[in-house]
Structure 1
Amino acid sequence: MFKLLPITLLYFIFSSLNAQSQKKTLQAKPTTENIIIDGRFNEEIWKTAAVASDFIMFEPDNGKPISPDKKTEVKILYDNNAIYISALLYDDEPDKIQKEITNRDIFGVSDHFSVYINGFNDGQQDFRFFVSAAGVQMDCIATEDFEDFSWDAIWDSQVTLTEFGWTVEMKIPYAALRFSKADKQIWGLNFMREIKRDVQKYTWNRIDTKIGAVIPQAGILQGIENIKTPTRLFLIPYSSAYYQQSAIGSGITLKAGLDIKYGINDSFTLDAILVPDFGQTKFDNAILYLEPFEQQLEENRPFFTEGTDLFNKGGLFYSRRIGGGSTTELLLDNQEEITNYPSTVNLLNAVKISGRTEKGLGIGFLNAVTEKTKATILNNDTGQIRKEVIEPLTNYNLFVVDQRFNQNSSVSFINANTTRNGDFRDANTSALLFDLNTKANTYSLYGDFKYSSIKTTEDYDGFKTEIGFAKTSGKYRYGFSGKYVSENYDINDLGINFYSNYHNAYANGSYRIVNPTKLFNTFRINQYVNFEIDNTSGKLQTGAFGTETKATTLNNDALEFVVEFSPLKTYDFYEPREYGKYVFLPEKVFAAVNFTSNDNNPFTLVLQPSFTKYNEKNRNVYGLYISPKYRFNDRLSITYILDYFNKTNDRGWVDSDPTGIIFAERSRETAQNDFTGKYAINNRMTVNLTARYYWSYSKNHKFLTLQNSGYLTPNNTYAQNKDRNFNSWNFDLSYSWWFAPGSEISVLYRNFGIERTDMVEKDLSANLKNIFNSDLTNVLSISIRYFIDYNVIKNKF
């Protein structure tokens, strides 16, 4: 194998394979006219601009030319402020154009037109701008691995429905793009049109789906010359007011702050938040969590979701660490109790700098500071109150350097650092990543090396490394990889990682169709094998063989079937909650089916039953996910989701006492109910409803003691009540109005509560009654954000 490695590397370096067809070229035309964005193209300059046409189907029938009755023509103008795009989208049945009104960045059931722009023409990253036939905007930063729709740019668009189809007019300021300082610009460019009722997508420059990479298959935009871009400085002041009422009392809170976006140059942008306010972000889903690891939460704060593609490289950044709860354990005397333990740590400020040069060098820097936080402790004998630091003043720092080359390859370095004031724990992690692809995007060689260092009462270091090879094009594809994670590898001060101290081998092979058949529009089958072995004991912790099949029918219903076999005995090294201990896991088989109906229909359904069978008597897991949705019209829709699990004879940790580690054989049942509704007044004003009721219980039947062999034996002396019953309720009713580009008024009414008990109640109506009789909290908030462009102010004065 090692003799072949130099040959493989030479192949990557000197490969001259190029399977791409001749790229189309479009000339942008300069203009001095004032272009009014109204979707009508009344300005004379549009008549003389070059036309991009002859679109080719991307999916499902890849390579098929667009029909004449769906002809699409696109033109581009430019001046010193922005580029302007006009699109004529012909349709022989204009009354069938889908045009559901949704929130920003939600595609919905609509036709769409989009432009993909790569200002460096390096085949690595697109800035993508979408407009639906209802006039709703969507935008993202896209790499081959990820589309980041949390990124929001400020741009203008307008659509018009006509007798021949529909039109789109767009103005994309240079501030929303990144490109070189060259006098003559050459950009990567592609347009995409989606005809929703037919579930078809077309692109201007053909994208061959037999090739794994999409971005390098863009066309070329030329003609933009000698532009003088304006200063990129944007201020977003905001003000919020909150009224909160609960059984404890009520009160009013006023907040104000400022977001700043500044273009350091044409490549790099600085984002900063001063006195942040995240009071209207989506609520976290509280659950009954009995796992050996912490619950991983979604990030809903805009600053940490927008434009963070660089910072997510290497998986070292879990942004919920910043401003999350403290994990400090307090030492209390027998007569003491904690009367106040803050659930979160206040974020004082945060700043990030990110961008990419014309030579493909991406740089990202993020820094955040959280405040010193204390818990309150009461001495019940003396009445004395003391404060104890649970989280010191903390600085979080992330630095990323990512060099792209040959349009589709990259090498990256990442450093994540957490520094706490005083004698608290500090941490540092560094990583080196590489992703090398042949010019024709047919093969990929990838890998990484990560090293963590923890400074605490007993310092320790650890590392993780991985290497993989994959065929990434054609109908038949395959890949294999190997991984080693040392015992003390720990990135959990700024990242999140659950498993360590193992080595892994993985391989897969897949087949797919690239054009429809008599049965399917799309079809893909993937088979894989995955082994993980504990480094210390040599015992198997994962041994799985799986098959995944995905297809869409000719009626555009989606089907998926997954089956995974674990035919070997394995061991769980984490459930015992004690270093060096492990528990035996029996053989098992898992199967799941997913059916998703064509969302062009007013009524749609997602149905996902699943089943896990263990090689133990009556030990099973039953799962059901069902989500019906009804779209009354283009403005109003409602969705219901039931996510249900039932675990029979489940086995898990409940306690550790002087007699040993105690497990329980138990029944677990979970039912999460979500109801969402949306009413769109227009494409900038919506009313949204989100309600969630979650109920879960764990009922122990008998207790067991973990033996050193990893097996469990009956324990007839343990008698503590470790049953759990958990109810959680969330209700959000919001109104949002984007009254100007980048400017929003939002009103939110929020009602929530949690009920925990060790008395299991299996009657659903009784649980509902209990949660609504608990201490529900009500919050009414109003927030105003206003986008200010420095150039507009400058021009006025």
Structure 2
Amino acid sequence: MHNVLIMLFLLILTHKFMSKFYFFLLYFLVFINFSAKSQKKTLKAKSITENITIDGKIAEEVWKTNTEVATNFIMFEPDNGKPISENKKTDVKVLYDNDAIYISAILYDNEPEKIQREITNRDVFGVSDHFSVFINGFNDGQQDFRFYVSAAGVQMDCVATKDNEDFSWDGIWDSKVAITDFGWVVEMKIPYAALRFSNTKNQTWGLNFMREIKRDVQKYTWNHVDTKIGAVIAQAGTLEGIENIKTATRLFLIPYTSAYYQEDDFASDRTFKAGLDIKYGINDSFTLDAILVPDFGQTKFDNAILNLEPFEQKLEENRPFFTEGTNLFNLGNLFYSRRIGGAPITEPGILSNEEITNYPSKVDLINAVKISGRTENGLGIGFLNALTEKTYATILNTDTNESRKEVIEPLTNYNILVFDQRFRQNSSISFINTNTTRNGSFRDANVSALLFDLSTKANSYNLYGDFKYSSINDIEDYNGFKTGLNFAKTSGRYRYLFTAKYLSKNYDINDLGIIFYNNYHGASANVSYRILNPTKLFNRFKIEQELNFESQNTTGKTQEAWYKTVLKANTLNNHYIEFAVVANPLDNFDFYEPRNYGSYVYIPKRVSSYLGIESNRNHALTIDATISGAKFDEDGRVNYGFAIRPKYRFNDKLSLEYTLDYIHKKNDRGWVAFDNSDIIFAQRNREIAQHDFTGKYALNNKMTLNLTARYYWSYSENDKFFTLQNNGYLAQNDNYSLNKNRNFNSWNFDFSYSWWFAPGSELSILYRNYAQDSSRNVEKNINTNLKNVFDSNMTNILSISLRYFIDYNRVKNKF
């Protein structure tokens, strides 16, 4: 608690105008306190010296003698609180030694022939029964390491926090399952290296087990999790009995080799790469991850689009180093990892007789390292550093035919430092700093943030807030800040959330984060009612009402103002339905679409709605469908669209899925050009159609063939032009006649073979081809568009990659 008081004192000193608010914060901490409702179960682990073979048979004698049993599971959903039936009885035992904990689970089922067991890729749940263990080594009620295994033997794992399950994290652990005539059996070995816990003589961990019976769409937990309380992790039981363990050195080496052959219409290339990833356990709580000579050639492709918005396209992170174990670094939403190794920050200046002949689309990463962990007093510490190389564009002088190079991204260092103090099983105060330093006279940036997330002891109420400060060192230096406060009732059938925020004009986190809107203040309110147990009509039901208002700071004009109603329901047949209506009853103004600081454009009143349906996942044929539409208070201006996704599961090994996502915007209006001092807008018709096709064939639970194909087509056809007036309204412009139409096609195809031949070790073979086609001539015939993209410069890549996981202790013992 001493650390908490120090951090609160720093918070109070940060900004004078927040003093009254922080006085209320202290009042909230000191005087609001409720007792917990649920009684925690306790299980005692047994120490062993015998060897355990993970084979799904539970044959060792130690499993049968004097070992406590976790049983009497309770339904989590849909009928929360209902005891498990005797014919679905579940018994779990835990053993341990100096290397790992061992878990056996007997999952009784009076109809074992109906146990669902689809074989999927790792971390994909599919249509299968599951057993899982949730372990919190610090017993702080705020973070679990979760290990799942399906009845088909497929592993899934994640790091879970209050609002997120991060399945990009992959632990190294072992499991086997066996289907029997009385149900199925699970045996697991979870090495201490896959967990984080304090260095104390007597360990007390948070613990829960979950069982999912897929055909009944039911989940059961060992320790009762009351769905009337929003916090799930804090409702775990406890594991005791682990004492005096002497854990081995946590040092893992993951060398890799990869070979690429690439060709297009103009050239071909062969590339061989080799590198090394290192994971080192500084102690039982902290881990160092380093990536040397990175290779991301087999990561998932980016979904290219026709982007007519005033902002960059936000891309998903697919590189394992930047997705695994980054929950600490994501606090405060200041970290957008695609900045590291992303597009260069500048474009070279060229003369009238020059042209750019080579402009790299991304900057290469030299290396990266991260250290993260948590002390026994609940203080989480994270440090991430990455270095990207100096990058040049090539410029050709068309008169002399000579080339020159110009730096478009200097040698750049990225840093993140995080301190996150947890306390009271459900609360935290955090400090985050991000820093981007570019060599030479290029732009530098620094952002700092203080966060607090406070809940009452019974997890009935929550108070969350932040203060963030950005400092930019550029041609002109500038600073900005953002602050916000959220208060919520987080339990019961009726819940509510009130928020307020303020962003200054110069608040900017875009060097290592991503933000689109600043220079506004706003408030919102959300009230919801939910049915948590089945009724005559629904398994679950929820209705939300939300109001949101935002005003631009400089002009005082309305930036956003809407009212939303959302209905969400799971039927008794386990179909999901969601319906929403959003009304924007006020005229508002867009301060970003004009692409000119100080300008803004009028956005008319509008009403929008959508209806979505997801069918029961247990069926062989499932269909998800959504229809949406919006009507503007402007002649003929409407949006409408639909998405449909049928999936057919032929058997437990083979499945195919197709998705069509279509949007039509009629008489849309948006920026198209600058004409001297004029800002030109166009009235345009837009269509967007995306086709996704995926297929999976599992040879077994370690070996799969996967197919992913995407075809995207979009056009924008201008009807008439306008000039933006100083008051934000548009005046028709009959003199502007340049062709600003757009037609864009994108194709991606991946076919891969993956074999996890040992824990943490993978052989993968990937064939990939891709192409893009862009034109000012709108083509509405899909066959012609397909022909154009396939006739463009198609790139083909064949790659083979081998990664091998080496445990230092096993190598040491062999020698």
Change (3 A) 1:639 1:645: same
Per the TM alignment, residue 196 of structure 1 is displaced from its structure 2 partner at its CA by: 0.5
> 1:34 pairs with 38, 51, 57, which one?
51
User: 2:511 and 2:33 mapped to 1: Cα distance?
Assistant: 44
> 1:554 pairs with 559, 572, 576, which one?
572
Per the TM alignment, residue 11 of structure 1 is displaced from its structure 2 partner at its CA by: 4.2
C-alpha distance after superposition, 1:733-762 (max 9, x if no partner): 000000000000000000100000000000
Work out whether 1:520 is the aligned partner of 2:538.
yes
Work out whether 1:230 is the aligned partner of 2:248.
yes
C-alpha distance after superposition, 1:584-623 (max 9, x if no partner): 0000011001100000000000001000110111101111
> 1:739 pairs with 752, 757, 761, which one?
757
Per the TM alignment, residue 329 of structure 1 is displaced from its structure 2 partner at its CA by: 2.3
Matches within 5 A, 1:243-322: 243-322=261-340
> 1:537 pairs with 526, 531, 555, which one?
555
Matches within 5 A, 1:82-231: 82-231=100-249
The answer to whether the Cα contact below 8 Å between 2:481 and 2:506 also exists between their aligned partners in 1 is: yes
Per the TM alignment, residue 3 of structure 1 is displaced from its structure 2 partner at its CA by: 8.7
Report the secondary structure of 2:786's partner residue.
helix
User: 2:627 and 2:99 mapped to 1: Cα distance?
Assistant: 53
Report the secondary structure of 2:243's partner residue.
coil
User: 2:307 and 2:243 mapped to 1: Cα distance?
Assistant: 58
User: 1:648 and 1:7 mapped to 2: Cα distance?
Assistant: 50
User: 1:639 and 1:14 mapped to 2: Cα distance?
Assistant: 54
The AA in structure 1 aligned to 2:452 is F
Which residue is 2:5 aligned to? Answer: none
User: 1:357 and 1:149 mapped to 2: Cα distance?
Assistant: 24
Structure 2 gap segments, 5+ residues each: 1-17
Matches within 5 A, 1:366-765: 366-765=384-783
The AA in structure 2 aligned to 1:441 is N
The answer to whether the Cα contact below 8 Å between 2:253 and 2:276 also exists between their aligned partners in 1 is: yes
Q: Name which of structure 1's ranges 272-281 and 655-664 shifts more when overlaid on structure 2.
A: 655-664
Report the secondary structure of 2:596's partner residue.
coil
Change (3 A) 1:4 1:260: closer
C-alpha distance after superposition, 1:379-423 (max 9, x if no partner): 001111100000000000011110000000000000000000000
C-alpha distance after superposition, 1:649-685 (max 9, x if no partner): 0000000121500000000001000000000000000
Which residue is 2:95 aligned to? Answer: 77
Per the TM alignment, residue 64 of structure 1 is displaced from its structure 2 partner at its CA by: 0.2
User: 2:807 and 2:171 mapped to 1: Cα distance?
Assistant: 13
Work out whether 1:24 is the aligned partner of 2:41.
yes
Report the secondary structure of 2:197's partner residue.
coil
Residues matched between the structures, number: 797
- What RMSD, in angstroms, separates the aligned Cα atoms of the two structures? 1.1
The answer to whether the Cα contact below 8 Å between 1:237 and 1:787 also exists between their aligned partners in 2 is: yes
Identity of aligned residues (%): 71
Per the TM alignment, residue 15 of structure 1 is displaced from its structure 2 partner at its CA by: 3.3
Work out whether 1:44 is the aligned partner of 2:31.
no
C-alpha distance after superposition, 1:273-332 (max 9, x if no partner): 000000000000011000000000000000000010000000100000000011302211
C-alpha distance after superposition, 1:569-592 (max 9, x if no partner): 000000000000000000001100
C-alpha distance after superposition, 1:467-525 (max 9, x if no partner): 11110000000110110000000000000000000001111100001111000000011
Per the TM alignment, residue 4 of structure 1 is displaced from its structure 2 partner at its CA by: 9.9
Per the TM alignment, residue 447 of structure 1 is displaced from its structure 2 partner at its CA by: 0.3
The AA in structure 2 aligned to 1:745 is L
Q: Give the alignment's TM-score, normalised by structure 2.
A: 0.97
User: 2:24 and 2:781 mapped to 1: Cα distance?
Assistant: 66
The answer to whether the Cα contact below 8 Å between 1:20 and 1:217 also exists between their aligned partners in 2 is: no
Change (3 A) 1:494 1:7: closer
Change (3 A) 1:7 1:751: closer
Report the secondary structure of 2:318's partner residue.
coil
Which residue is 2:14 aligned to? Answer: none
Q: Give the alignment's TM-score, normalised by structure 1.
A: 0.99
The answer to whether the Cα contact below 8 Å between 2:348 and 2:393 also exists between their aligned partners in 1 is: no
User: 1:5 and 1:96 mapped to 2: Cα distance?
Assistant: 57
Q: Name which of structure 1's ranges 173-182 and 13-22 shifts more when overlaid on structure 2.
A: 13-22
User: 2:33 and 2:610 mapped to 1: Cα distance?
Assistant: 43
Work out whether 1:12 is the aligned partner of 2:33.
no
User: 2:33 and 2:390 mapped to 1: Cα distance?
Assistant: 57
The AA in structure 2 aligned to 1:67 is S
The answer to whether the Cα contact below 8 Å between 2:721 and 2:736 also exists between their aligned partners in 1 is: yes
Change (3 A) 1:80 1:4: closer
Per the TM alignment, residue 249 of structure 1 is displaced from its structure 2 partner at its CA by: 1.1
The AA in structure 1 aligned to 2:100 is A
The answer to whether the Cα contact below 8 Å between 1:443 and 1:470 also exists between their aligned partners in 2 is: yes
Which residue is 1:62 aligned to? Answer: 80
User: 2:200 and 2:518 mapped to 1: Cα distance?
Assistant: 48
> 1:779 pairs with 780, 797, 802, which one?
797
Report the secondary structure of 1:650's partner residue.
strand
User: 2:653 and 2:577 mapped to 1: Cα distance?
Assistant: 28
The answer to whether the Cα contact below 8 Å between 1:737 and 1:745 also exists between their aligned partners in 2 is: yes
The AA in structure 2 aligned to 1:12 is L
Structure 1 gap segments, 5+ residues each: none
User: 1:41 and 1:352 mapped to 2: Cα distance?
Assistant: 39
Which residue is 1:335 aligned to? Answer: 353
The answer to whether the Cα contact below 8 Å between 2:119 and 2:652 also exists between their aligned partners in 1 is: yes
The AA in structure 2 aligned to 1:18 is S
C-alpha distance after superposition, 1:117-155 (max 9, x if no partner): 011111111010000000000000111111110000000
Per the TM alignment, residue 16 of structure 1 is displaced from its structure 2 partner at its CA by: 3.5
Which residue is 2:8 aligned to? Answer: none
User: 1:682 and 1:12 mapped to 2: Cα distance?
Assistant: 53
Per the TM alignment, residue 182 of structure 1 is displaced from its structure 2 partner at its CA by: 1.1
User: 1:313 and 1:11 mapped to 2: Cα distance?
Assistant: 22
Report the secondary structure of 1:224's partner residue.
strand
